[in-house]
Amino acid sequence: MALDKSEVEKIAQLARLHISEADADEVANRITDILALIDQMQSIDTESVEPMAHPLDAVQRLRVDEITESDHRDEFQTLAPETQDGLYLVPKVIE
Amino acid sequence: MIEKTAAELSQALANGEISSVELTQSYLDRIKKYNEELNSYITVCEESALVQAKEADKKRVHSDSSPLLGIPLAHKDIFCTNGVTTTCGSRMLHNFIAPYDATVVGKLNDAGVVMLGKTNMDEFAMGSSNETSFFGPVRNPWDTNRVPGGSSGGSAAAVAADLCTMATGTDTGGSIRQPAAFCGITGFKPSYGRVSRWGMIAFASSLDQAGPLTKSAEDAALMTNVMAGLDKKDSTSIDKPVEDYTATLNDSLEGLKIGIPKQHFAEGLTADVEKGIQEALCEYEKLGASITEVDLPNNHLSVSAYYVVAPAEASANLSRYDGVRYGYRCANPVDLEDMYNRTRSEGFGEEVKRRILVGTYALSAGYYDAYYRKAQKIRRLIKNDFVETFKEVDVIIGPTSPHTAFELGTKTDPVTMYLEDIYTIAVNLAGLPAISIPAGIANGLPLGMQIVGRDFGEAQILNVAHQFQQQTDWHRQKPNFGQET
């Protein structure tokens, strides 16, 4: 399947990526090439095949829902670009 | 000393021929001298390495005899290391100082290793040449105009050039085995779930697996003994006892049944590599193994299925990089949307963005069945091929890569690069263990042989690799780079 510029822009928006006008055609062409590689798998009938999500068909291990971790908020927030009073700061969302 | 295997150094340390401090200092000196050209390390931890080495020497006096005590190693920069920058080869994490140790790092620390530093890699482990790193490409010590392979290219080059004794790596589609092949060392990917993924920065969660890059299969067994095991912090790690992988290294291969997949000896394989592998197979016949051709009829679909599964999972995993809690944030965002978009566009490199886009497309409304679900069905067919084959044979052997290391900057088209992993990718989709060991030299460059085992057949393939290394000395061959004799 060939992707055009407007489709690439739509996907980029979903992925929160900005693709410049100048790069959009190039990106669309590269992705079209990759989709051509991927489409090779369409050549084979898999109607009766069960999808495999895990190589060992293992199921997720669950645990009792109890607090096991200690609080590291201050330590972790030293890594953040901007914090205030224990909160992560981002540009203003509501005027 | 620096060229020796971990097993040999362990003996030398135990006999008092050398101390861990002396050994660590020799590697640090070599790193200072040669890393600028190879670019195999992103971060070097000189001070803390010497502290760890002193500690190891002290423990030895108090009769601690752990096999890896005092052995200097490097960690791929995908593993979180407490207090040490952990970049994953990306601008997005160029300033990220991990606040904790990955389980693998913690376990190796407990075993007394010395961490020399963090190795270069393709950005977020996406690449087969180490050229997508934000920190620049790594050069192959066998020929510095060539790539070391990827994504664990820094680890492979560092081991090959004796800038460490051993290193950790991760393998999602061949990222331990292919660089090991290109750099003439041993690279081992255990079964999916055998080694904890906790603290290992996620690329494709149903495929990612950590493993060792070493100078011998015996060293790979020693490292896997420490790295493997259930981790309650990783819900996909497997609850199965860890064997002593060194215990069966010397078992005889008499009667071993080796399968040779015809798809791995077909069009695209270079004559040099084919010849090397055929000669290696003769060694196995001398050891009493029998060789039969086997069929993996869906192997040709593995790259297609992989380039749905891996990018889809990556697009979800990499959505966490939003410029809010850690890592890169763009300058002067006008609003929240602008901050997300510019942070991610400036923080990620071209290949990572491409895969996020492919993955987002494959998972978007209306395409899920045609792509992700279809790829999961192909994945089942690929696994079934292996299950059937392992009813007939004990291990599957073939080339790790169709050719030896290629020149930097020569594979600029993504699809060409993706086809690099044609022999390794199916193994990840099926979750099987596999090792690459040096099996020859063609035109001055090492070539790798891949040995694939059954689910949790780690001990067997390490045994099969070790026996080859007892008969041959390909794993002892060294590049001219950095030779000081």
pLDDT in tens, A63-84: 899 998 899 999 999 999 999 9
CA B412 – CA B433 distance, rounded (Å):
30
**HSE-up of B235 (CA within 13 Å, CB side)?**
8
H or E stretch at B449: strand B445-452
Question: Is pLDDT above 80 for A2?
Answer: no
Q: What is the 3-state secondary structure (H, E, C) of chain A?
A: CCCCHHHHHHHHHHCCCCCCHHHHHHHHHHHHHHHHHHHHHHHCCCCCCCCCCCCCCCCCCCCCCCCCCCCCHHHHHCCCCCEECCEECCCCCCC
Q: Which residue has the tokens 């035109």?
A: B443
Relative orientation angle of helices B302-317 and B374-389, to the nearest 10 degrees: 130
Does B418 sit within 8 Å of A16, measured CB to CB? Answer: no
> What is the predicted pLDDT for the residue at A1?
66
CB–CB of B245/B458 below 8 Å? yes
Positions of E strands within B70-113: 72-76
Contacts of B300 in chain A (CB under 8 A): 40
Local mean pLDDT, 10-residue blocks, chain B (485 residues): 97 97 98 98 98 97 92 98 98 97 98 98 97 98 98 98 98 98 98 98 97 98 98 93 97 98 92 97 98 97 97 98 97 96 97 97 92 96 98 98 97 92 97 98 97 97 98 97 85
According to the CATH classification, is domain B6-256+392-476 in 3.90.1300.10? Answer: yes
Instruction: Output b/e per residue, B100-115; b: 16+ Cβ within 10 A.
Output: bbbbbbbbbbebbbbb
> What is the predicted pLDDT for the residue at B421?
92
CA B138 – CA B155 distance, rounded (Å):
10
Residue B409 token pair: 């900057």
Is B4 in the active site?
no
Which of B447, B458, B468 has its CA nearest to residue B400? B447
Query: A25 vs chain B: nearest CA distance in angstroms?
Result: 13
Start-to-end CA distance of chain A, whole Å, equals 43
CB–CB of B469/B475 below 8 Å? yes
The string of DSSP codes covering B246-283 is: TTTTT---TT-EEEEEGGGGSTT--HHHHHHHHHHHHH
CB-CB: which of B99, B303, B356 is closest to A17? Answer: B356
User: Is any Cβ of chain B less than 8 angstroms from the Cβ of A25?
Assistant: no
> What is the predicted pLDDT for the residue at B196?
98
Does B236 sit within 8 Å of A11, measured CB to CB? Answer: no
- Exposed, middle or buried by CB within 10 Å (0-12, 13-18, 19+), for B41? buried
CB neighbours of residue B161 within 10 Å: 27
User: What pTM does this model have?
Assistant: 0.97
Which of B1, B482, B460 has its CA nearest to residue B250? B460
CB neighbours of residue B266 within 10 Å: 12
**The one catalytic residue among B175, B216, B237, B315:** B175
Is B151 in the active site?
yes
> What is the predicted pLDDT for the residue at A61?
85
CB-CB: which of B344, B373, B429 is closest to A51? Answer: B373
pLDDT band per the 50, 70, 90 thresholds, residue A59: confident
H or E stretch at B179: helix B177-183
Torsional sign, CA B437, B438, B442, B443: positive
> What is the predicted pLDDT for the residue at B485?
66
Single-letter amino acid, residue B242: V
Suggest the residue from B208, B209, B334, B360 to mutate for an interface test with chain A (most A CBs closer than 10 A): B360
Contacts of B193 in chain A (CB under 8 A): 56, 58
Is B76 in the active site?
yes
CA B360 – CA A10 distance, rounded (Å):
10
CB neighbours of residue B213 within 10 Å: 35
